[in-house]
Structure 1
Amino acid sequence: MIEEETLIIRKEWWEFFVALWETFSYNGFVKKQGGLFYVNANCV
């Protein structure tokens, strides 16, 4: 139960972090890296 809650919290933090990352790194190279990072995060 605790593990499940931790995963939900972690997912919310990842979504927040990715949104923040995309907001602050809105240029070609970094945006491309951010997209790759987002895909990798989703695979985990």
Structure 2
Amino acid sequence: MYFGWIHLEDVLVTTANEEGEIIGRHIVPKQIHYGANIAWED
């Protein structure tokens, strides 16, 4: 399971593993940034 935190100010998703290590960041389209945070399974 990976968790993505969406920072509304810059529409940036930070992806971290269960240990809290940052494994990726990417910009998402403004249209979908309104979900406060998202989670998905690998």
TM bucket, shorter chain:
under 0.3
Bigger radius of gyration, 1 or 2?
1
Greater share of residues in helix = 1
Greater share of residues in strand = 2
